[in-house]
Amino acid sequence: MAALLALERDRLMEVLRSDEERKWLERVGIPRVPTGKLKRLSQLLEKVGYRDVVHYTNTALSLHDYQYHGPDPDMAMSKYACREEAVVDAKALVGVIVRLVESYVKPSLERRRAWTERHEKELDALKERLGKLYS
């Protein structure tokens, strides 16, 4: 989320209605990406063309709750009744992150000549580990 926000800073500034919102995004939203503001930040990214980021964010927030509360058969504190349910969403979310990096982050950094061999190596390693999760 932080990478997308930083890469789209200028476009995000254009869709914000007030100087106060722009200042907050610049000082807090982009550098810190507060958990309590993830929904709003993902909505802003959707406004500038990132489809389904709100849904991915909801999944990430559900996993965040699970991290603190664990499995919850009654589903009062967590959206996951068992570990296996959380694992399915965690794997899917990592896959989404890889696709977002490949589709948006990498091309943007390549245009700026900022995508390095280390970035490529780490992305390849992540894809390899993700592939092992599904095999």
Interval 24-48: pLDDT, tens: 999 999 999 999 999 999 999 999 9
Looking up tokens 């999944």 gives: 59
What residue spans define the domains of the chain? Answer: 1-50, 52-135
> Average pLDDT, whole number, for the chain?
94
Mark out the alpha helices in 1-135 (DSSP H runs): 2-7, 9-15, 19-24, 30-32, 38-47, 53-69, 83-100, 106-111, 117-134
- Closest by Cα among 84, 50, 92 to 66: 84
Residue 73 confidence class, pLDDT cut points 50, 70, 90:
confident
Give the angle 122-123-128 at the CA atoms, nearest 5°: 95
Burial class (CB in 10 A: 0-12, 13-18, 19+), 3: middle
pLDDT of residue 134: 73
pLDDT of residue 11: 97
Residue 75 confidence class, pLDDT cut points 50, 70, 90:
confident
In this predicted structure, the answer to whether residue 135 has a pLDDT above a threshold of 80 is: no
* pTM: predicted TM-score of the whole model, two decimal places: 0.87
* Mean pLDDT calculated for residue range 102-125: 96
pLDDT of residue 1: 94
